Each structure stands twice: as C-alpha cells, then as structure tokens.
Chain A
Amino acid sequence: MNKIKGRIIDELPSVLRSMYSSAGYSCYRTVGFEEYDLFSQYRDFLTSGQMITFTGAGGRLLALKPDITMSIIRDAAEEEGRSDKFFYSESVYRVPAGGDEFKEILQIGLECIGDLSGYDRAEVVSLACKTLAVTGREYKLDLSHTGLISGLFDIFGIPADDRADFADALKDKNAPMIALLCEKNGISSDDSKKLIEFSRFSLPIRKAVGELRSLGFDQNERSAEALAMLELIANTLTDSEAECVSLDFSVIHGMNYYDGTVFAGYIDGVAEAVLKGGEYGKLMKKMGRAGSGLGFALYTDLLERLDDGEKNYAADVMLVCGNTSPEVIAAEVKKIRDSGKTVLVQKGSAGAERCARVITLGAEE
C-alpha cells in the first residue's frame, strides 16, 4: 500500500484518489452550492446545522455545501443488484463541532449506495482502515452497530423514552450519568455496573464478536443480526486491519439517520476522530430513496498539524544570484535540480531562513 513520505496534507488527496479508484470508486464532483432545501430538511445529519446561504440569480435560496453525502444520495441510481460507488475530494463550508465560525474544509470521502451486499459493507470499512493507514501513523478504527446498541438496551430493559439519554451517556462513556439514569429507571445496581462496563468495552473486532456472543447478545434478534454483520466485516478485513479495529459501544452517530455499522477513526497524534462514517439507510428512506448507503469522510483539517516538527522550507536551496548573468544562474539552477533538490532564486539573501541551505553565486559556499 502507498504510504505518504512527504507532507501528509499535500500528498493525501492524490494517494487516496488512486486507492479509491483501484476499488472501482468513481470521482464525484459537485458545484460549490446547491438548493438550501436539500440540506435544511436533514440538518441534524450534518456536523453543524448552520449553513452559508445566499439568494441565487433566479431568486432561489442556495447554500454553500456543508456536506457531500446528500448530493450523492440524490444522484445515485436505483436499480436492483446495483451499487454506485463514488469518492470525492471537495471543499465543504460549515462550523466545525465546538467551533464558532464557518470554515472551508477539504473533505475527502466515499459513498457506496444502492442494493448493498455484505462485501460492499466490509469493503467500505476496509477502505476506511486503508485511508487511515496511508498517513503512516498508528491508527485505530472504533466500530459499532446500531442493532448492537438497540440489543443492549433491549437486554437491560431500557425504556424507549430514555434510550436517547442512555445513548448520550454511552457516547461519552459517562459512568456517573449511566448510574443516574439506571437509578431513575429502577434498574438494579448490578445491571447498572454491567452497563458501565459495556460503556468501557473495547476489544479487537474478532475477539469482541465471540465475547459478545458468550454474553448472550446473539439471543436478541437485533444484536444477533448486528453481530453477524460485524463478523462478516471482521473476516473480510486483513489480519493487520482487524488488529486496528475495535468494537466500542461509544460509537453512536445520529440514531435517526444511521441503521447499521457505524465507525470513527483515530490517528496517533490527533486529539479527536479524523474519520467518521456509517450506514445511513434511514436517511436514504427519509430522502425517498430505495436501498441503503454506507460511507465515510476524512476531515483533513484535523491532519494539518501532523507535520509539526518538520521544517516546511520553501525550497531546499536558496540561490542568491546578485548581478550574475542569467545564463550562469540557469546553469547553476539546472545543476541543483538535477541533484534532486528544489531551488529558489533571488537577488539578495533576505528571508534566507525560508530555505534549508543558501548558496551565493560568486562566493565561497
């Protein structure tokens, strides 16, 4: 697999494009803005519900794209036995989670939409692993399934009205909140402790499936189906990928839109999830589309600081030319370039710190 050797943020798009193409994914390009209505009806699917809007020439209300997924869903074909596979590398405009101002963010991701097979689903998870791996850093992908969470709630008899609160508590591994909610719902202290342990559950995917079966999760219809899907994914991943994928009950995306596998990816050195994805069949249904969809997005803005510590020179060599003739300068530039180095030519030495080395023509090095 290709691994990035230079600056991650510069090389990532081309490396990923080539990887996604090799898996049969086609490039999807959008215009920078769309009808506001496309996004406004499903705004809680977005990281932030806020959008930059403006009135188009024809008086229609438009929005700079806060997300790509909905455009792709709208454009995908609906045919039995067919899945459309697209990748994109596009700017989106939104307020990042926890932020207070709009940002232009380069988002790279892919979507697999239509009549999905088990392999399609496993392939997306595998591509998510490969996406994280190309950074050359240690990575982890936390995986869960909405059916597993529903099964967990069924097993412990969590009332329907309180499931959203329990889901929030699981998402933050919030033991005090789980204990409080259990007390409120008359759930025994033993079960409360077990639920807290499940909030902390994190095991490599292959081991986790067996562990959850032994804990009775295959007795519940929804969690049994979820476990079968997770097992299929685990068995399709390579051994090294499976080692980096953990089952973790804290991966919970919007329960109104997702209805299958959900995941979040982390790279060593970045303080939050850099990749998020999942199966959004409920969103498809709300948008009036047949079939299901699964995809992920990589938030490249979070990768900017991965190259910290490495000097980002404008060029390897600054060639200070003074009044030297252009022919001599050109010959010197060719010599430096031929040696595999980059060169910046300028008259004087001002700003020399931008380059790793300075050569002054007509002077001793």
Chain B
Amino acid sequence: MENRKYLNVALPKGRLGEKVYSYFEREGMEAEGIHEESRKLVFENAEGTLRFFWVKPSDVAIYVERGAADIGVAGKDILLEYTPDVYELFDLELGKCRMAVAAKNDFIDDRSKTLRVATKFNNIAGQYYASLGRRIDIIKLNGSIELAPLLGLSDVIVDIVETGSTLKANGLVEYSKICDISARLIANKASMKFKGEQIMRVCRAFEKKD
C-alpha cells in the first residue's frame, strides 16, 4: 500500500507549523522544496519515508483522526473542543496561551440572570460553565469575539488569551482562566499499530528538542 511507505505528517500552517518543522529538519528529517515559494501542498523527504503537508490548524486533528495523516500537531484548544479520537503523545510546549473568560472592566456577574457567552469554543465554554452549575446562553461567533461584550451582544467571552494586549486594547479584562493551552503531538490510533516505531522515533526526537 502506497501509504504504508510514508509517515504522513500534518503540520499547521503558520509560525507554529514552521517551528515544528524545524525540529524535523534538525533531526535530519527534512523534505525537499518545502521552503521554496510554490503552490505545492505535499512534500516528501529524499528517502521517501516522510511526507509533510500543511493544513489549516483547526483541521489537523481531523486529518489525523481519519487517518489521512499518521501524526500531526494540534493546539490543545482544538483537542478540547472537538475531542478527536487520537493519541495525545506529547506536549511540545509551543504556542503557549490560555483559554479564559474575559469581560468588560466594569462587568459584575449577576447570578439571577442567564449569562450570555460569546465564543468560538462552544464545547469548552459549555463544559466549563456546566462544571460551575451556571446557566448560560452560548452565542457562537467565528471571529472578532472581543466585539461581542462591547456591543452588548454578550456579557462575557470565552477565548484564547496569549498576552492579553488585544483584551486591554478593547477595554476588556481576563475574568478567569479555564485551562492552559499549548501545541500537542497527536497520532492516529491505527497508525500507532502499523507505524508505531516511526511515530515513537519522532516523539522521542521532540522530547529532546531543547
């Protein structure tokens, strides 16, 4: 089978994916032409044992869960939100940030009312407030989440916070932290059975990355 030859690696487009790829390069697992400007999406190494492809960060887990990729790098936020059935092998400690609740500076939580929560992360927000026994109304947005409390669309937002500067620039403050987020090395469960040695070689290389 063609796919058996390769270890297929889904990398997230952007800075995180490039940083992860640099670890592969350092271990002598580089692919030809990956740094060249082109429209190519799939890159193979000279030995024909590794195949990299760049995908939208939020799609990495789907590629891995469905077996199109054997391993990949996905943010913990995506893993918590979509709960793909994959092995979560290693915390790369890259792209560190946190999932947090933020609100306007003058926000006071009124427990007598349903809390309106704007977020891209319905499941994470839902589970967090369920654990607090808080009644909420989730407003699913796809971007510019910070706008929601400013325009009265929501009371709070649940979103990723890195430095907090975007919140500050919009008159918002971090109200509570839900969890820490970082990039994780994930693997397809069936691939671990048939390409386990190759996958663990990559995992061990990442473990000694520093």
Which residues of chain A have a CB within 8 Å of any CB of chain B?
A: 97-98, 138, 140, 142, 172-177, 179, 200, 202, 246, 250, 266, 268-273
Query: Across the interface, do B86 and A172 meet the contact criterion of CB distance under 8 Å?
Result: yes
Chain A positions within 8 Å of B187 at CB level: 173
Query: Across the interface, do A272 and B85 meet the contact criterion of CB distance under 8 Å?
Result: yes
Stretch of B14-22, B40-48, B143-151, B193-201 that contacts chain A: B193-201
Query: Across the interface, do B184 and A176 meet the contact criterion of CB distance under 8 Å?
Result: yes
Query: Across the interface, do A173 and B85 meet the contact criterion of CB distance under 8 Å?
Result: no
Cβ-Cβ contact count across A and B, 8 Å cutoff: 59
Query: Across the interface, do A142 and B193 meet the contact criterion of CB distance under 8 Å?
Result: yes
Interface residues of B in 37-70 (CB under 8 A from A): 65-67
Chain B positions within 8 Å of A269 at CB level: 1, 3
Query: Across the interface, do A272 and B194 meet the contact criterion of CB distance under 8 Å?
Result: no
Known contacts A176-B91, A176-B184: does B189 contact A272 (CB below 8 Å)? yes
Chain A positions within 8 Å of B88 at CB level: 172-177
B90 to A: closest C-beta gap in Å: 6
Q: How many residues of B contact A (CB 8 A)?
A: 25
Query: Across the interface, do A268 and B91 meet the contact criterion of CB distance under 8 Å?
Result: no
Question: A250 touches which one: B65, B87, B91 (CB < 8 A)?
Answer: B87
Chain B positions within 8 Å of A246 at CB level: 193
Known contacts A200-B200, A268-B1, A268-B194: does B189 contact A273 (CB below 8 Å)? yes
Known contacts A175-B91, A176-B91, A202-B196: does B86 contact A270 (CB below 8 Å)? no
Chain B positions within 8 Å of A172 at CB level: 86-88
Known contacts A142-B193, A200-B200, A266-B190: does B87 contact A271 (CB below 8 Å)? no
Query: Across the interface, do B87 and A270 meet the contact criterion of CB distance under 8 Å?
Result: no
Besides A98-B65, A140-B194, A268-B1, 4 new A-B residue pairs in contact (Cβ under 8 A), listed by A number: A174-B88, A176-B91, A270-B190, A272-B190
Query: Across the interface, do B188 and A271 meet the contact criterion of CB distance under 8 Å?
Result: yes
A98 vs B64: C-alpha distance when bound (angstroms): 14
Chain B positions within 8 Å of A98 at CB level: 65, 84-85
Q: Is B4 interfacial (CB-CB < 8 Å)?
A: yes
Query: Across the interface, do A270 and B67 meet the contact criterion of CB distance under 8 Å?
Result: yes
Q: Is B205 interfacial (CB-CB < 8 Å)?
A: no
Chain A positions within 8 Å of B90 at CB level: 175-176
A184 to B: closest C-beta gap in Å: 13
